[in-house]
Structure 1
Amino acid sequence: MPRNPVYGIPANLLDTKTIDFYPRDADDEVPKKVRSYAGYADVDGPGQGGRSHLFYWFFESQTCDPNLEATDQQALIDRTPLLIWLNGGPGASSLLGLFLENGPLRIGDDAAGSVSVSADTWNQEAHVVYWDQPIGTGYSYCDTAGTYVQDEDTLALMFWEALQQFFATYPEYRNCPLYVCGESYAGKYVPAIARKIDEQNGRNAGTHLELKGIAVGNGWIKPELSVQVMIDYAYASGFLGLGQKSLLDDAYGTFKNVLEEGEKNHDVEKLKQATDLGNGLVDAVLAYGGDFDVYDVRRWDDLSMGALRAYLDSPAVRKALHADRDWQCADNSGPVATALKADNMADASPWYAELIGRGYRVLLYTGDFDSACGYRSTEEILDGIVTPQEEWRKAERRIWKQAQGNPKGFVRTLRNVTQVALPDSGHEVPAYQPQICREMLYNWLFDRPFTGQDPEPVARNILEKARKDAANETG
């Protein structure tokens, strides 16, 4: 695996302008802007599928000086967190996150596909590497056509092997505190990969990876719960009538029975049937509701990719990124999702409980207007896995406030678990609330305070006053 610097990228589809990261000529006196690398890690599998190639794009933290050699600032590099970012789908490229959510670049909706530098990037204070995985996602591919990952354990082992290559190629980042982050279907990828890293570290296999924690936004974690919550959310939001909800509730009972049978007996075919039934429920809810945006009930269309597909397929961009395949991207459709069909509706919440029990830091955050995998499902998942349950329920739920007093979010922390609910946001929180989301992440990473108030005393006083007033009325 060679070191592949990204010197710069086209600033539009026509390649008439360039965004430079650092000079192409070693003698050039123009200051470097950021260290960036992109390319492939080459791993075996899945199965007998031959070699697979997982694409990455890395950005060093802006706290580091790209004009100094790494050896001259190694202590700074070592103490800077390194974040892995994974989009979900299945089949959604993590370059969606880079260009539309939390990366140092943004692509506009204009026909020219204009790219600009973002002030809201997560690499202001952290190293960030975006990975296209599993194979068939983004620029990643397998030498054997038609070969895709079918389960999380295979996916996690391939990714661990890719990380081994990455840190062997870029050893200056080997000792960084490592956090696996993602959203949506990455609610399965993230804990699976973290468990594999923990397992391999315990076996002293390969290079020890400095895993510290995981962060997941609007995670698809316990699908059985998320499907039920979506039906209830659509009804509460006015997208369903009582008769329609009753029909969906009956269909949900059938779905739940098939899923439970599949999980109990490890029956792959039943699990695939459950996925068909679960997807059917989601589609029926949307049909009843006039096809509202499942990821933001305030909208009728999902966030636009704009010209991103055309941009990433352009020869000039692929050359700059050392990518040798067309860019593929889908959301729960196409061959990547089909291969993971038996995995789709399986419950991943026990993996979070395991990681919490092992002492890893866990952040789960949600945009409140996501009907697919939003606040309520995350709340109920944590209620079932954080122990002691009563202590978690009684933990302070702080109103995190802006300077003018309006809430930025609602934050609860107990030991190594943090939950944040973010108002005025849909599924892709870094896109809807980029500055607040980044502040949330940094507060969590660096143990900075979520400034605000505990509403518990005020609320209890209100309830007590109401009780006394009611007693006086009857007296």
Structure 2
Amino acid sequence: MSAIKLRNTHYQYDVILQTGYIGVGELEAVQLFYYFIESERSPEDDPLVLWLTGGPGCSALCGLVYEIGPLSFDYAKSSAGGEPVFALNPYSWTKIANIIFLDAPAGTGFSYSTTLEGYDVSDTISAAQTYEFLRKWLVDHPEFLTNPLYVAGDSYSGIIAPIIVQEISDGNEVGDQPTMNLKGYVLGNPVTDDEIDTNSIVPFAHLKALISDELYESFMKNCKGEYLNPDQSNASCMEHILAIKECIGKLFTGQILEPLCKTISPKPITLKLNPRFLIADDTDILLSSPHVPRPWCRHFNYVYIYKWANDETVQDALHIRKGTKKHWERCNKTLAYSYNVKSSVDYHRNLTKKPYRALIYSGDHDMSIPYIGTHEWIESLNLTIKYDWEPWFVDGQVAGYTMLYAYNELDYITYDLRFATVKGGGSHSAGIQARAVPCHDR
């Protein structure tokens, strides 16, 4: 492991970033890379959070820089100088928590395997490897053993994280060492159940006035609410689905206020990039050069992370092992990955019998994993409603809506789950979400 200091001269603040590899699996062939940043408040007392970025195959560096970490890119200064410049994120979760950002599974970010077999991974294998990683990390960092532990993540981590929480819980019960001070988990816009998530898209589009009342009602009548697996022999249903896709097809599903900009980007500002550093969809976005000005696309901002993470000086500072990765990718779309868990709802249901706290939050403008689908599976857990649907506020303004659920046993609450929407938030708006959804207390 190693520690480096990232200095932001404008703010006169140093971010101490520790990085390292931990080997897991047979003969420790899988080497998982992590970034660790201590809490700015009280590292000895504040929670320890394991953060998993979705994908699968998307680097934890995205979570650190674009979502909940203490650093973000200063786009004005970066574009002017041609090199990425960092600014502080005033809403970083590291203000109240110690955070491990983990590149998992092998093939993600800077994580790698010394064998080809190590790249063959599934939902359950990935969860088991991450559990092993966490145990070994805590052995190496015993000063954090007593800190409250939370497993957190977004997007596809909604499948993996509950499995990891179950592994930790079971391990504690059978005496696996070290014993972890598990307190709960936090999930943002989580993939949970393919059928529920996908079939909630059409009701969401209707609620947001993206499709008409008439089209919605006809769809519900003829397709019986089935958007994921419609009856393809039903001509009326298929016509309605085509009409719906036409209505929403030009929108970025992760944030419906933005356009879908697969091929509508200008040149990548002033940075010079080697195209081999970019995955397929990023390449289209960042390197296309239309003749007329086009709308802004959030993918334009990814140019900086490719430039920074693939800089040899940066990789030397991060102590990336030579020869283990040809280049860093934001998301690896070539993983040999088996999606063997179709729904994580049962894992949530099992955890309701444990003394944990859960926070599930959703941007209310995310159509990839609509909040109404998330609310649906939470309702299926049959928890007691402790506090019903009500607004929550930031600086006197409505920031979203929330509900608090609890599992009661003999009038004793052993588990509680808070569901919260974030007004204006999308699946890529964790920076907004982090402002008022702390992971240590609700």
**What is the TM-score normalised by the length of structure 1?**
0.71
3-state SS, counterpart of residue 426 of structure 1: coil
Partner letter of residue 258 of structure 2? R
The reply to whether residue 380 of structure 1 matches residue 351 of structure 2 is: no
Change (3 A) 1:202 1:426: same
Q: What residue is the counterpart of 2:315 in the other structure?
A: 318
Q: What residue is the counterpart of 1:422 in the other structure?
A: 422
Q: Which has the higher helix share?
A: 1
Q: How many residues align?
A: 376
* Percent identity (aligned): 22
Shift of 1:180: 0.5
Q: What residue is the counterpart of 1:397 in the other structure?
A: 389
Partner letter of residue 60 of structure 2? S
Shift of 1:403: 3.8
Q: What residue is the counterpart of 2:333 in the other structure?
A: 334
Q: What residue is the counterpart of 1:439 in the other structure?
A: 436
Superposed CA deviations along residues 239-259 of structure 1, whole A, max 9, x for unmatched, are: 55767984997598595499x
Shift of 1:314: 1.0
Distance in 2 between the 1:283 and 1:92 partners?
A: 31
Q: Which of 362, 365, 373 is the matching residue for 2:358?
A: 362
Distance in 2 between the 1:89 and 1:223 partners?
A: 14
Q: What residue is the counterpart of 2:64 in the other structure?
A: 98
The reply to whether residue 409 of structure 1 matches residue 400 of structure 2 is: yes
Shift of 1:198: 1.1
Partner letter of residue 340 of structure 1? S
Paired residues of 1:134 and 1:155 also in contact (CA < 8 A): yes
Q: What residue is the counterpart of 2:22 in the other structure?
A: 41
Superposed CA deviations along residues 180-234 of structure 1, whole A, max 9, x for unmatched, are: 0111111011101111111111221221111110000110001101111113333
3-state SS, counterpart of residue 110 of structure 2: coil
Q: Which of 292, 297, 312 is the matching residue for 2:251?
A: 292
Q: What residue is the counterpart of 2:4 in the other structure?
A: 6
Deviates more, 1:227-236 or 1:158-167: 227-236
Change (3 A) 1:283 1:295: farther
Partner letter of residue 348 of structure 1? S
Distance in 1 between the 2:222 and 2:305 partners?
A: 39
Distance in 2 between the 1:83 and 1:142 partners?
A: 25
Shift of 1:38: 0.3
Distance in 2 between the 1:208 and 1:194 partners?
A: 13
Q: Which of 327, 352, 356 is the matching residue for 2:348?
A: 352
Paired residues of 1:227 and 1:282 also in contact (CA < 8 A): no
3-state SS, counterpart of residue 167 of structure 1: helix
Distance in 1 between the 2:311 and 2:11 partners?
A: 16
Unaligned runs of 5+ in 1: 12-16, 22-32, 65-75, 259-280, 448-475
Q: Which has the higher strand share?
A: 2
Paired residues of 1:42 and 1:51 also in contact (CA < 8 A): yes
* 1:232-251 matches, cutoff 5 A: 232-237=203-208, 239-240=210-211, 246=219, 250=223
Partner letter of residue 177 of structure 1? P
Paired residues of 1:356 and 1:362 also in contact (CA < 8 A): no
Q: What residue is the counterpart of 1:164 in the other structure?
A: 135
Change (3 A) 1:285 1:174: farther
Unaligned runs of 5+ in 2: 232-239, 261-296, 407-415
3-state SS, counterpart of residue 351 of structure 2: helix
**What is the TM-score normalised by the length of structure 2?**
0.76
Paired residues of 1:134 and 1:149 also in contact (CA < 8 A): no
Shift of 1:342: 4.3
Q: What residue is the counterpart of 2:177 in the other structure?
A: 206
3-state SS, counterpart of residue 349 of structure 2: helix
Shift of 1:128: 0.9
Is the radius of gyration larger for structure 1 or structure 2?
A: 1
Distance in 1 between the 2:258 and 2:333 partners?
A: 25
Q: What residue is the counterpart of 2:200 in the other structure?
A: 229
Shift of 1:429: 3.4
Shift of 1:107: 1.9
The two structures, once aligned, show a CA RMSD in angstroms of: 3.2
Paired residues of 2:148 and 2:181 also in contact (CA < 8 A): yes
Distance in 2 between the 1:58 and 1:362 partners?
A: 23
Change (3 A) 1:289 1:61: same
Paired residues of 2:123 and 2:159 also in contact (CA < 8 A): yes
Superposed CA deviations along residues 279-331 of structure 1, whole A, max 9, x for unmatched, are: xx99996565333101011111463323111211111111111223332332x
Distance in 2 between the 1:145 and 1:378 partners?
A: 36
Superposed CA deviations along residues 367-389 of structure 1, whole A, max 9, x for unmatched, are: 100011131011111110142xx
3-state SS, counterpart of residue 2 of structure 2: coil
Q: What residue is the counterpart of 2:266 in the other structure?
A: none
